[in-house]
Amino acid sequence: MVYIIDDDSEDLELIKTAYDETKASEDIIAFEDGRDFLNYIELKENSKKSPAYILTDLKMPALDGIQMIEIFRSNNKYNIIPVVMLSTSNLNYDIERAYKCGVNCFLTKPDTYNGWKATVDKIELWVKRWYEAHQV
């Protein structure tokens, strides 16, 4: 299970299509808002099925990716779940903030569909290696 959080519906659609086309092994649940994601997680807290990883946008209205991940990581149950942050920003300030809040990987959003497919492949490989390294 992959949770994707992005307020841009076009980006969400591109990401989901790239996952379908690259035949990534995970099911996807998409959220357009960090609050919706956190509310969903709170309702599912007693569920035995945790996400394989989270893919989130940095800049979102109301609750940005940094704030959302800080809240998410405050529950020790979720400390081991890898988080990948995507953003149009490549500013050192944003990248440092992301890693400080508990993000495991920061990537700049691609600007083409082929770029999205390549990014999905990279993320899937990175997550596989992350789990192998952590023996989870």
pLDDT for res 48: 58
Is 90 exceeded by the pLDDT of residue 134? no
pLDDT in tens, 113-124: 999 999 999 999
CATH number reported for the structural domain that contains residue 61 in this entry: 3.40.50.2300
pLDDT for res 46: 60
Tokens 């940094």, located at residue: 66
Q: Which domain holds residue 67?
A: 2-134
Is 80 exceeded by the pLDDT of residue 3? yes
Radius of gyration from C-alpha coordinates of the chain: 14
Tally of structural domains, the chain: 1
Supply the pTM of this predicted model: 0.90
